[in-house]
Amino acid sequence: MRRFVTALVSCAFAASGWAAPNILLIYVDDLGYGDLGSYGHPVIETPALDALAARGVRLTNYYAPSALCSPSRAALLTGRHPYRTGIRSWIPPDSNIYLRREEITLAEILQASGYRTALIGKWHLNSDLGNHSEPQPRDQGFIYAYGHNAYQIPTNHKPSNVYRNGELLPAQNGYTADLYADEAIRWLGQEEERPFFLFLSMAEPHTTIANPPRYNARYAGFTRGEIVPIPSGLPEPPVHLLEPRGPGEYYANVTYMDAQIGRVLDVVPDDTIIVFASDNGPVTSDWFAWYEVNAYGSTGGLRGRKHLLYDGGIKVPAIVVVPGVTEAGSVSEALVVGTDWFATLLAATGARVPADRAIDSVNILPALRGAKLADRDMLWALDAQSDLEFAFRRGNWKLLLDRSHEPRELYNLERDPLELFNAIDSHPSRVRTMQQGFSEAYEQILSDPLRPAARQDS
């Protein structure tokens, strides 16, 4: 498999005859569509990411591949629907679920082409960063890896579950945002002539959160009572700390994250392709679990949240800068999904998309220049907190189906972007054709020869 990857990219680069660009791919954790200043948040200050949007293209119709982190990340790095990879939901610790070696990642292709590659931040594509029987980041294309797996223990502050190249480190002295920014800046500063691919996978604003006091002070007017972070990783949930204190801490966490990303952006060379996106929708104040208390993410008014397939759970902010391609301060309404970064970044480097497997990725470089993308169907599937486990989009129409594949809700997103008016009873023929389209697309995923045979789907 590795010989195939090397041959694939070496051939492509030899034919292209031009220098490969640097790539910075920033993936943040649980940031909502409405959580940035450039996406309309009335309070949260995000000057670094707003400035990035002013340099490039702000996508207003961008969708994460899933409403949860692990499947979203699997799709991002492979360009394949997460159900093809066998990662259907978030990966619990010690579950023996992981991104398999048979998958080819973006990092593997770029490493084989001569890039130096690094993952700094969250991984969450296996169940244990210390278990070397499961594929680790360095097995999947990342020459260097520093970060955590599912969530921070005990909080963003002084995390005790950070690994470097497969080895657990002592508790780190700092907050994950500055730890990962520092590590990224250090890694970028290494003197090498090779182009780089840096996957900067921030922990924020995933709960449980902690912030430097000066950031909490900026939003003190939105906080009630003393700030006491809620730790994770304890034998029992800290019930006595579960007190709603308002959105101030969450606002501070996003601003703090923005500042640290800004530090990295300040040292990135001008010829770097920069992609910024969120892995899924936010945890809103509609909390499902104790560790979500005091998250106040904004969907920008969209229905739903993380874990759900309404647009609030999957429509997220995304910003991209491609030197020589994107126009500063532009906005694109092109329908884009997170799997598309795979084909797009490979196209930008001159490398080829693997031809030996199904790829659910479209090169969106033409759309970043203002061209129209070809129409296509989109399918989301998730072991969800809701009976609605499937979403199928065709044009402006979105059909939600239950776990038995029965259509339950239909929305015209052009007329009803908030998904408030279920049109399923008034458009029976559209429901039938979309259900058929869903069934064909889903069956094609289930019949994927690379899909883990041990997993049986309904």
List helix spans (H) across 297-427: 311-314, 340-349, 365-368
Distance, CA of 271 to CA of 129 (rounded, Å): 33
Q: Is the predicted pLDDT of residue 12 greater than 60, yes or no?
A: no
Q: Are residues 188 and 234 in the same domain?
A: yes
Q: Is the predicted pLDDT of residue 23 greater than 50, yes or no?
A: yes
Cβ-contact 392, 439 below 8 angstroms: no
Q: Are residues 192 and 247 in the same domain?
A: yes
For position 15, what pLDDT does the model report? 41
Range of the domain at 411: 387-446
Nearest C-alpha neighbor of 443 from the set 68, 81, 72: 81
pLDDT, mean over the chain: 94
User: What are the strands, taking DSSP E only, across 55-105?
Assistant: 57-59, 62-63
Q: pLDDT tier at 11 (50, 70, 90 boundaries)?
A: very low
Structural domain contains residue 21: yes
Give the β-pairing of 22-28 and 272-278: parallel
Q: Are residues 141 and 174 in the same domain?
A: yes
Of 374, 405, 438, the position where a domain reaches its end is 374
Question: For 199-258, how does the pLDDT look when each residue is reduced to its tens digit (9 = 90+)?
Answer: 999 999 999 999 999 999 999 999 999 999 999 999 999 999 999 999 999 999 999 999
Q: Which CATH number covers residue 58?
A: 3.40.720.10
For position 445, what pLDDT does the model report? 97
Q: pLDDT tier at 5 (50, 70, 90 boundaries)?
A: low
Q: Is the predicted pLDDT of residue 431 greater than 60, yes or no?
A: yes
For position 2, what pLDDT does the model report? 46
Q: Are residues 310 and 430 in the same domain?
A: no
For position 455, what pLDDT does the model report? 46
Q: pLDDT tier at 282 (50, 70, 90 boundaries)?
A: very high
Q: What percent of the chain has pLDDT over 90?
A: 93
Give the C-alpha distances (Å, rounded to integers) separating 399 from 5, 436, 458: 37, 11, 18
Q: Three-class SS of residue 42?
A: coil
Of 321, 348, 374, the position where a domain reaches its end is 374
For position 453, what pLDDT does the model report? 63
Q: Is the predicted pLDDT of residue 145 greater than 90, yes or no?
A: yes
Structural domain contains residue 351: yes
Q: Are residues 306 and 359 in the same domain?
A: yes
Structural domain contains residue 119: yes
For position 19, what pLDDT does the model report? 77
Give the C-alpha distances (Å, rounded to integers) separating 280 from 9, 44, 64, 72, 311: 30, 19, 5, 7, 10
Q: Are residues 395 and 369 in the same domain?
A: no
Q: Please compute the mean of the pLDDT values over residues 398-410 and round it to a whole number.
A: 97
- pTM comes to 0.95
Nearest C-alpha neighbor of 68 from the set 346, 316, 251, 426: 316
Q: pLDDT tier at 16 (50, 70, 90 boundaries)?
A: very low
420 Rama class: left (phi>0) / alpha (psi -120 to 50) / beta: alpha
Q: Are residues 85 and 11 in the same domain?
A: yes
List helix spans (H) across 80-136: 82-85, 106-112
Structural domain contains residue 380: no
Q: Are residues 422 and 326 in the same domain?
A: no
Distance, CA of 81 to CA of 448 (rounded, Å): 11
Q: Which helix (H) or strand (E) holds 18?
A: none
For residues 112 and 386, the model is more confident at 112
For position 7, what pLDDT does the model report? 46
Question: For 309-342, how does the pLDDT look when each residue is reduced to its tens digit (9 = 90+)?
Answer: 999 999 999 999 999 999 999 999 999 999 999 9
Distance, CA of 51 to CA of 437 (rounded, Å): 40
Distance, CA of 398 to CA of 409 (rounded, Å): 8
Q: pLDDT tier at 117 (50, 70, 90 boundaries)?
A: very high
For position 192, what pLDDT does the model report? 80
Q: Are residues 335 and 438 in the same domain?
A: no
Q: Are residues 288 and 423 in the same domain?
A: no
Q: Are residues 369 and 413 in the same domain?
A: no
Please classify residue 263 by burial: count the beta carbons closer than 10 Å to its beta carbon, then call 0-12 exposed, 13-18 middle and 19+ buried.
middle
Structural domain contains residue 405: yes
Query: How far out from the chain centre does Cα 226 lie?
Result: 32
Structural domain contains residue 429: yes
Q: Which CATH number covers residue 428?
A: 3.30.1120.10
Distance, CA of 162 to CA of 216 (rounded, Å): 24
Q: Is the predicted pLDDT of residue 9 greater than 50, yes or no?
A: no
Structural domain contains residue 259: yes
Distance, CA of 284 to CA of 354 (rounded, Å): 38
Q: Please compute the mean of the pLDDT values over residues 262-273 and round it to a whole number.
A: 97
Q: Is the predicted pLDDT of residue 384 greater than 90, yes or no?
A: no
Tally of domains within the chain: 2
For position 17, what pLDDT does the model report? 44
Q: Are residues 270 and 351 in the same domain?
A: yes
Q: pLDDT tier at 191 (50, 70, 90 boundaries)?
A: confident
Structural domain contains residue 23: yes
Of 346, 374, 402, the position where a domain reaches its end is 374
